[in-house]
A and B are shown apart, each in its own frame.
Chain A
């Protein structure tokens, strides 16, 4: 039984998870994917900005920032449990 999915924006800072589903509308998906965020990619949530938004993640060895509204629509799976 695979662990449950949760939005990337709910992951605690410092934890690493695997992208399971990108629910963004198709026209917004390509650039995110071109930046290396694909289903199956492992991401680390680095931190939230001081004002709570946007969120900084580490993907494929570099740091990327997204808004919460986008991170909400990226579902991830934490290793070993939900």
Chain B
């Protein structure tokens, strides 16, 4: 049976339970001033911006705050917390705008929605209650947006509604009467077009006015519940008001939420005491007995009222026809053209990363070399020189050089998100993902993990089912992230022939790179399937996903987004990686072995005396002054064959000594300690050092190898340091065979595809899953996978006669 639309403004709240609203606001203010340490004791006002996903909320946020947002996280979860100061607020006011995650309903279906609900219901200890809630509503999609807006208005906080996308509404053939809407909703309504900035000033003025002069909030309820439901909801609201000392308005809205939605209650099981949860269960049982559909009916009532409002405020200008977005979708989700376009988009993304990044990468490399040369020339040779040139500059430089590729990747992901194509990608890929028991939505986190597993894992919070979210988290780091790129790039440049095949230059190198990426994808899907079959058994989740209209991306927003994300990478290069490099340099340099030095010096003296018996040799604190000797011999070497032979011998001794020193160093000892484990994979202890260091972060491999081998070359005075890739090829095993063959490189890359060598990812997984169990499990399973598959690669390669 359908219950008729018996809607009207809510009756006056029950006086007995109506706690004085000003008292609550005042206590809120006290909270506010407690935390306002930053700006000269002025009270900080919070404006919470909320709305459906894709309603243009972030664009409104950017327009209000001018792209100077502080991006952080909510305590304990990795839901992005974006906060910015309201631009153009009068001098004395410090008004902060908080951009809440997109939300369809106050009955949360995901972590994102749960955070929005918790902020609006003032459940987060880290935030004071918002002084004002600004609901952003998409005028071109009024019904579903108003469904949420009316839920928020019912909470009874001061609320303002920004009616966004008025231009889109007109282009699809209707106008919305803002004044009428304000009248029906009982809150101020400001029409805006956030993309052009139209109406933003008016919105800002209204926000300031509402924050500064707190108007009395008239309680409103948009659904008048019939009979039994109303009795139960009122009873529950009374209990809530009593237990939490809440204003009766919010208690009513909350009662409705937890009574009618199982997830609304389950997601706040720590908030509501047992007694209230029991009350809810008992109320539901009584409603069941009276055959009231407590789940569905409240939604039907609200939609009926919302549809009524929508009809009253909308004027149809033209019959709704096919929009531009619809026409575009005809092509982009077409069986043939859509699939083709998808492949083209993905291919373009990867090609751009490798082709367009080349020029800036070469420039950065040149700048790093130049800086190293300058610094090396300024500081007398010795430990400090070695630390700065080989440890700091070369190490950090080796990582920063990949910034262009990371920028391009983030640019693409930002564009895909901002245009609305990401949702289409999920639409196209859902069938494949559902084959392994996942969701089309898992595609986006996995795609983002190509940039970095951290944003990828953070993107899983849009997945509703906890098990599927966990499976996605577990396999996301198998996607080759940008930190592996430096490792692949180095090993491919060193060991995979660059010659043209079939007339295409560097075809083999490109194919090797592609296969590493594919290997990660395939194994990730297999593992997801395996996890869904065994450990995290569960049905393939429901897919209820909006396909938002395409829109033109705002370049400055995309660029800003790209920069924000890349900054995390740079900060890592500046802090963690710098620190690791200094530690590594120390480990690779100390302890000094006097024995090795004396042995080498004895060899040097013998070589020199053999050809030049009369030469006088000077010694320093560190033994033979080889530098002086070299300076003396070099001019002679132009004409004197014996001198040039001696120089050659000396260089060989230098290398040998460097190798011996490294073997005796802490790093060498650690590398050798794990050698038995990695020897079956064809890796030597120097690679072992790189692998150990990489467990902090994969890209450290490159800088470690440059530290390991540059220290090993003892070539501080050699200003034109040889390219690391060339250095790798020169490395020999004790038996004289090269260390870095094609097979070693491929095996090493396979190892890097699978091993979870990233401290930040471990930390993020810990935070996302709220237990150490999963990151430890993940680290172990990925490590095992890495070793086994690298072993198979190496042995398989040997059987085929490679390496």
Contact = CB atoms under 8 A, between A and B. Distances in A.
Interface string A46-66: 110111111010001111111
Contact of A40 (B2, B141, B431): B2
Interface in B89-110: 104-105, 107, 109
Interface in A12-59: 26-36, 38-40, 46-47, 49-54, 56
B542 A33 contact: no
B147 A36 contact: yes
Interface residues of B, number: 46
B2 A62 contact: no
Contacts of B320: 61
Contact of B141 (A46, A49, A60): A60
Contacts of A56: 329, 333, 427, 547
Given A30-B299, A61-B143, A67-B430, A54 B262 contact: no
Contacts of B547: 56, 63-65
A38 B548 CA distance: 20
A53 B295 contact: no
Contacts of A27: 262
Contact of A51 (B2, B105, B172, B431): B431
Contacts of A65: 427, 430, 440, 543-547
B300 A38 contact: yes
A49 B140 contact: no
Interface in B303-346: 303, 320, 326, 329, 333-336, 338-339
Size band of the interface chain A makes with B:
20 to 34
B109 A66 contact: no
Given A63-B547, A70-B542, A53 B431 contact: yes
A50 B430 contact: no
Interface centre among B143, B320, B334, B548 (most CB of A within 10 A): B143
A30 B303 contact: no
Nearest to A62: B141
Contacts of A69: 540
B306 to A, nearest CB: 9
Contacts of A34: 104-105, 107, 147, 299
A61 to B, nearest CB: 6
Contacts of B265: none
B104 A35 contact: yes
Nearest to A64: B546
A28 B544 CA distance: 11
B300 A54 contact: no
Contacts of A40: 2
A39 B262 CA distance: 21
Interface in B132-190: 140-144, 147, 172
B550 to A, nearest CB: 11
A36 B140 CA distance: 15
A33 B296 contact: yes
A54 B140 contact: no
Contact of B295 (A30, A39, A54): A30
A69 B540 CA distance: 10
B234 interface: no
B543 A67 contact: yes
Contacts of A54: 427, 430-431, 440, 543
Contact of B434 (A29, A35, A53): A53
B428 interface: yes
Contacts of B147: 34, 36
Contacts of B339: 50
Given A40-B2, A61-B320, A64-B547, A49 B431 contact: yes
Most B CB within 10 A of own CB, among A46, A51, A52: A51
B644 interface: no
Given A35-B104, A50-B339, A51-B432, A60 B440 contact: no
Interface in B517-563: 540, 542-549
A46 B542 CA distance: 19
A58 to B, nearest CB: 9
A35 B261 contact: no
Contact of A30 (B140, B143, B296, B329): B296
A51 B543 contact: no
A26 B329 CA distance: 33
A64 B428 contact: no
A32 B109 CA distance: 11
A35 B544 contact: yes
Interface in B265-301: 295-296, 299-300
B516 to A, nearest CB: 26
A45 to B, nearest CB: 13
Contacts of A36: 143-144, 147, 303
A46 B296 CA distance: 26
Contacts of B295: 26, 29-30
Contacts of B434: 53, 67
13 contacts: A28-B542, A29-B295, A30-B263, A31-B542, A34-B104, A50-B333, A50-B334, A61-B172, A65-B430, A65-B440, A65-B545, A66-B544, A67-B434
Interface of B: 2, 104-105, 107, 109, 140-144, 147, 172, 261-263, 295-296, 299-300, 303, 320, 326, 329, 333-336, 338-339, 427-428, 430-432, 434, 440, 464, 540, 542-549
Which 10 A-B pairs give the minimum distances between C-beta atoms?
A51-B431, A63-B547, A50-B335, A33-B299, A60-B143, A62-B141, A34-B105, A53-B431, A67-B543, A36-B144
Given A28-B542, A56-B427, 13 more contacts: A27-B262, A36-B143, A36-B303, A50-B336, A50-B338, A56-B547, A60-B141, A60-B143, A61-B140, A62-B144, A63-B329, A63-B546, A66-B544
